Amino acid sequence: MKPRVKEVIVVEGRYDHNTIAQVVDAAVVELGGFAVFRDAEKLALLRQLAEKRGLILLTDSDGAGFVIRNHLKGALPKEKVKQAYIPDVAGKERRKRRPGKEGKLGVEGMDPATLLAVLRRCGATFEEEAREPAAGQAITKADLFALGLSGGSGSAERRKALTKALDLPEYLSPNALLDVLNLLTTREELAETVCHLAGEGDK
């Protein structure tokens, strides 16, 4: 029996929809790729669903996926939308003759275990489970700055190393990274990870 997710999962296209439908029992809305930019009715539907059920935005990890994600971030109520990020994995979907422009697998190319982990990490509400709130203080922009992850020399390289270590896509902005880190880890664990990565970089 597939786990049931309360929120509506928003994906780019029908192949992504088919893949998600094999992993979880959830309502899924297809954006039709860049067509959503001109589809006022689809945006109105997404706003309505966001208010009633909450949304999980699950796009590909390539540049096009982030263009779509960022457009929707500005069009939908932030507090009603959870951001789910698939990892950067090189490869080609079986149905395609050649890899995408950036050579990365999209949502449809992810295996079920990875997709379940991605949904859990973004805070999806699995209806058979009670999700415990994260303990400890939230990670702030000041923490990212103090750890050398923003606003300084080499911060972009450190963020890239961190996203790779945490299996996150490279295009995450500092703000998006902050949101994800607060779902994934604590301030103490983040400091330990950054320290460990710095030690590895010195070798």
Within 8 A by CB and 6+ apart from 53, the residues are 6, 7, 8, 27
171 and 81 in one domain?
A: no
25 and 109 in one domain?
A: yes
Q: Within 10 A of 203 (CB to CB), how many other CB atoms are there? A: 4
Is 135 within a domain?
no
Residue among 92, 106, 101, 55 at smallest CA distance from 76: 55
pLDDT tens, residue by residue, 133-158 = 455 678 999 999 999 998 889 998 99
- Residues β-bridged to residue 55: 8, 81
Structural domain for 165, as ranges: 141-202
25 and 59 in one domain?
A: yes
The confidence score (pLDDT) of residue 183 equals 74
The answer on pLDDT for 20 being more than 70 is yes
172 and 73 in one domain?
A: no
Is 127 within a domain?
no
Averaged over 34-63, what is the pLDDT?
A: 92
Is 172 within a domain?
yes
The answer on pLDDT for 14 being more than 90 is yes
The answer on pLDDT for 13 being more than 60 is yes
155 and 110 in one domain?
A: no
148 and 91 in one domain?
A: no
CATH number at residue 99: 3.40.1360.10
Averaged over 5-34, what is the pLDDT?
A: 95
The answer on pLDDT for 201 being more than 90 is no
Q: E strands within the chain?
A: 8-11, 28-30, 55-59, 81-85
> What b/e string do you get for 60-94 counting C-beta neighbours within 10 Å, with b at 16 or more?
bbbebbbebbeebeeebeeebbbbbbbbbbeeeee
Is 132 within a domain?
no
The confidence score (pLDDT) of residue 15 equals 95
CB 96 within 8 A of CB 124: no
Is 2 within a domain?
no
73 and 145 in one domain?
A: no
Of 121, 150, 168, the last residue of a domain is 121
Number of structural domains, the chain? 2
Is pTM beyond 0.85? Reply is no
Locate tokens 């192949």: which residue?
Answer: 15
- Residues β-bridged to residue 83: 57
Amino acid at 167: D
The confidence score (pLDDT) of residue 136 equals 64
90 and 29 in one domain?
A: yes
91 and 13 in one domain?
A: yes
Q: What is the C-alpha separation between 3 and 125, in angstroms, rounded?
A: 10
Q: In what order do the strands lie in the sheet with 8-11?
A: 28-30, 8-11, 55-59, 81-85
The answer on pLDDT for 90 being more than 70 is yes
101 and 37 in one domain?
A: yes
Q: Is 169 helix (H, G, I), strand (E, B) or coil?
A: coil
80 and 149 in one domain?
A: no
Is 3 within a domain?
no
Is 70 within a domain?
yes
